[in-house]
Amino acid sequence: MGYWILVTIVVLAGLAVLVAVVASEARPAPIRRGPAPRRPWVVLGSGAPDGTPRGWVALAAGTLPAGVAVHDLSEPGATIADVRLAQLPAALALEPAVVTVLTGPVDLLGGVPLIDYAEDLSETLTALAAVGCRAVVVTVPDLSRLPGLTEGDRDLAGLRTLVATWNAAIVQVARSRRAAVVDLSPASRALLGPGTSLDGRGFRPGPAATERLATLLGRAAARALATGPLTAGDSEGPDADPLPRTVGPATVPRTAPGHGV
């Protein structure tokens, strides 16, 4: 009797092992997923043909981490209103990680009231923050350094004051909407010096200016990409602060150049 009990136990154990082996072979292999694709970098604002075969966006793109797609939606002569109404919806459809907003000179020199500019900029940044996108806002360079302007025929002091007023408003709106700021004022000499020319839809930076712009804005985009998506814990919500009180109906002096930048 004991012999048959032992045989039965051995047979049952063998069957259990066989069932386990068959089950493991039937189980589907785990799916190995590659890294998630990087969300892109998008450029909005006023673009213009550059003085070099490669624009600043293309140059800056070469400095970003591998796998980051770049979409330049900027258009020559575009105002912040154009950005909000036309470029922003296209940008949101791309689900960007970072958006650089390069406007200001076209609006300023075109006589757009600063309060209108600030409201459109605020709405644009609010929409980007709502989807976790980090925004990088660019200030206006010192337009009094534009080639061809002289103290004799232009109110350069007034133009410098106006640019400073606009930049103060841009910084306040950007910070209240949790956006990073790239201040172009210190680089004005390099950006607007010899080699830069104007036409009716913007400015054409020379090779040196194009490389300088690419360095400044590419570095800012890379830093924003490395930070990760915008979250509610980064700062107060995008609608927490009102528009800055310093934003008033300032417009361009009559003596300022009439071309957009």
- Residues 176-196: b if buried by 16+ CB within 10 A, e if exposed: bbbbbbbebeebbebbbeebb
What's the pLDDT at 258?
39
- Residues 139-153: b if buried by 16+ CB within 10 A, e if exposed: bbbbbbbbeebeeee
Is 241 within a domain?
A: no
* Residues belonging to the chain: 261
Is 238 within a domain?
A: no
The tokens 């109110």 sit on which residue? Answer: 155
**Cα(248)–Cα(78) distance, rounded to whole angstroms?**
22
Is 167 within a domain?
A: yes
- Residues 57-68: b if buried by 16+ CB within 10 A, e if exposed: bebbbeebeeeb
What's the pLDDT at 31?
46
For the chain, the distance separating the N- and C-terminal CA atoms, rounded to the nearest angstrom, is: 101
**Cα(91)–Cα(221) distance, rounded to whole angstroms?**
15
Three-state DSSP class for residue 92: helix
Burial bucket for residue 44 (CB in 10 Å: 0-12, 13-18, 19+): buried
Structural domains in the chain (count): 1
What's the pLDDT at 257?
43
Three-state DSSP class for residue 76: coil
DSSP line for 17-36: HHHHHHHHHHSPPPP---PP
What's the pLDDT at 247?
46
**Cα(225)–Cα(247) distance, rounded to whole angstroms?**
30
Under 8 Å between Cβ of 170 and 121: yes
CB atoms within 10 A of CB 173: 25
Is 8 within a domain?
A: no
What's the pLDDT at 48?
60
Under 8 Å between Cβ of 102 and 44: yes
Is 74 within a domain?
A: yes
Q: What is the CATH number of the domain that holds 152?
A: 3.40.50.1110
pTM, two decimals, is 0.76
What's the pLDDT at 189?
84
Instruction: Render pLDDT for 118-175 as a digit per residue (tens, 0 to 9).
Output: 999 999 999 999 999 999 999 999 888 877 665 555 678 888 899 999 999 999 999 9
Is 259 within a domain?
A: no
The domain of 61 spans: 41-231
Is 2 within a domain?
A: no
H or E element in which residue 198 lies: strand 197-199
Is 205 within a domain?
A: yes
In the chain, which stretches have pLDDT less than 70?
Answer: 1-37, 48-54, 148-154, 197-203, 232-261
